[in-house]
Chain A
C-alpha cells in the first residue's frame, strides 16, 4: 500500500477516536440525546474495509456508524452536527447518532433495527445486478445480528441470486451484554456462511492492514465471481454497548487486556517500525485531528436547529 494511503488511514482512525471521545463528553453534558454507540476499539475494521472499496461500491451498516460515516468521507462537521441534531447534520438532524448517511459518498446508512439492513443490502446489490453493473455492496453488522431471521433470509437470497454483497461480521464478542457463546449456536460466525454454500474468510480486526488485505481479496472475489462472501472480523469494543451501559457482563481486566491491542497503537507501531512515518509526523496528524474535531464541535454548536417546518418535510417524496 502506498505510503500516503497508510498515513491517511492513520488519520482516519485517529479522527474516529477523537470524534467519539468528544462525542462522549458532549453526551455526558446532555448536548447529544438518544442512544449513542461508540466504535472505539473497532476503528481498524471499517477503516481497512472501506479503504479497500472502489468509490462506486456501496456501504451499509448498523447503528454503530460514526466511524463508517467518517471513513466514507462524510466530514467530522456533518457527523458532529447530526449528533447534536442540527440542520447541518448528515440527515438534517432527523436521524441522530444511529442514522447517518450520504448517498453521494455511497454510505447507505446507519440502520438501527438489528439485522434489518441485511435484506436491504441484498436489495442494493439486486439493484446493481438489475442495472447490469458489477458494483459491490459492503454490508457491516455485529455478531448479534447473525442470530436473527433477517441474516438468514438475506444470505440465502444473495447466494441464490448471485448478488454482489460482501457481508462483514464485526465479531466484537458481545451482542449488547450477551456473549457470542450464550447467543449463537456456533461461536465462529463464518461457519454460518457454510450453510449457504457461501465463500467466507476471517481477519484480525485490530490490525488495519490485515483487514485491508482480507477486504481487498474478498471484494475482488465478489466482483469477479458475482457471488457473495462473508468476512468475519475479530474485534472488540473498548466502551460499553451504548452510553448507558453499566457493563456488568464483563470484567474490566478483560477490557484492559484488549486495550493492549489498541488498533491505533498497533498501526502506529507498524508505521514507525517500517519507517513509513516518523513519530513527529504522526504526532502532527494527531494535533491536526484535535483541531479538526474542535472545529467540528464549534461548527455543530453554532449550526441552527432545524426549522419547525422541517417537522412535516420529507414524509413523502411527492
Chain B
C-alpha cells in the first residue's frame, strides 16, 4: 500500500488506462501544454503527444459534442471540463444527448466516454464557480454519475469508468486534490454503482459521498471520543444508486444523517431519505436529518462562504439530534 494524494490517484488512473488502451485519449481546456488547471494531467502532453492529449478551444459544446461523436464510433475519449460549473454550457450534451443516444436508437450507439469535472465550493471563487450540482446530473437515467471521496476509490473507479461502455460523469472536488490516502499496489479497479462502508459503527448511519465523506469521517472521530460510534456509508456512485449497504446499515442503527455539499432542496439527501422511508420505514427510530449547503448562491467572502457550506460541527450536531 502506498500513500498518495487524490491528484496522484486520478493522474495514475488516467495514465495506466492510456498505456493500456490506445483508444483512450483526453480532450479539454488546458489539459495539454498547460498540464491541466488542477495539474492532474501534468506531464501527459510530453509523454503522449498532442494527438492523445488534446487542447481544445474554450467551447464546452465542442468538447462534449466531439467526445460523444468520437465515442459513438469506437474511441474512448475522456473529456475534461475545467469545472463542473462549465457543464451548464454543455448541458444539452450531458443530460439530453449522451444519456439518450443508446436507448433512443434501440441500442445501436454505445458511448464509452468519461466526462471529468471538478466541482465544489470552499475556494472563494464566487457563486458561478463554486457549485456542487451533482444531484442535477444524477436525475437523468442513461448517465452514470460517480464522485469518489478517497484516493483509493478515485483511482479504482476512474479506471472502471474509462473501461465502461456507458457515458460517465466523474465528479472530483476542488479542495480534495491534496487529500492523502492509501491505495493498493499494482493494478486494481473498483466497480461503479457500489456503495461502501468506510467506517463501521453501531449507533448512527451517516450516508454521504465525496467532500461529505471527508467531513463525516472527521465528525465520526469526534463523536467516537464521546462514545458515539457512527457508521459511514459512502455512496461513491450517485447513479446507479446502490442502496443495499445504506439499508443494511440503517436496519442496524435505526438512525441516520445524510451529508452532502450541494443544496438541501431536491438534493441527494432528499433521495436517500425518501428511499429509506420507502424501503425501511419499520426501522425508523428518529426523523432522518439532512446536512447540506445553505440555500444561497455561494458568496466570495471567506467567512460567509464557510458559513454556507456544511461543516464538521453541523454533522456532529445532527448526529446528536437523531440520537435524542
A interface residues with partner B (beta carbon < 8 Å): 58, 89-95, 99, 101-103, 108-109, 113, 116, 118-128, 130-131, 149-150, 153-154, 156-157, 160-161, 313-318
Contacts and interface: CB of A to CB of B under 8 A. Distances in A.
Contacts of A102: 108
A316 B161 CA distance: 13
B124 interface: no
Contacts of A131: 74-75
A109 B62 contact: no
Contacts of A118: 65
B103 A314 contact: yes
A91 B104 contact: yes
A1 to B, nearest CB: 30
Given A108-B109, A153-B59, A157-B57, 19 more contacts: A91-B104, A91-B106, A93-B106, A95-B105, A103-B108, A116-B92, A118-B65, A119-B69, A124-B72, A125-B69, A130-B51, A130-B70, A131-B74, A154-B61, A156-B57, A314-B102, A315-B102, A316-B142, A318-B164
Nearest to A129: B51
Q: Interface size for chain B: under 10, 10 to 19, 20 to 34, or 35 or more residues? A: 35 or more
B22 to A, nearest CB: 9
A306 to B, nearest CB: 9
B189 interface: no
Contacts, number: 136
A124 B106 contact: no
14 contacts: A102-B108, A113-B96, A119-B66, A124-B72, A127-B75, A149-B61, A153-B59, A156-B57, A314-B102, A314-B107, A316-B102, A317-B112, A318-B164, A318-B166
A127 B51 CA distance: 11
Contact of A124 (B69, B103, B142, B166): B69
A88 to B, nearest CB: 10
Contacts of A128: 73
Nearest to A90: B106
Contacts of B25: 130
Contacts of A150: 61, 65
A103 B62 contact: no
A119 B102 contact: no
- The interface centre, meaning the residue of A103, A127, A316 with most chain B CB atoms within 10 A of its CB, is A316
B106 A153 contact: no
B69 A121 contact: yes
